[in-house]
Amino acid sequence: MGTLTQQMRSLAADITSSRDERHAWLGDLREEVDALRTEIRSGWRERRSEVDKMRGEIRADLRGARRAWQEGIAAGARSGVKPAPARHARTTSKHRK
What is the chain's pLDDT, residue by residue, as a tens digit (97 residues)? 579 999 999 999 999 999 999 999 999 999 999 999 999 999 999 999 999 999 999 999 999 999 988 888 777 766 666 656 667 666 555 555 5
Q: What's the whole-model pTM score?
A: 0.47
- The CA-to-CA distance between both ends of the chain, in Å, stands at 103
Q: DSSP state, 80?
A: T
C-alpha 3: how far from chain center = 63
pLDDT at 24: 96
62, amino acid identity = L
Instruction: Give the total residue count for the chain.
Output: 97
42, amino acid identity = S
29, amino acid identity = L
62 close to 69: Cβ distance less than 8 angstroms: no
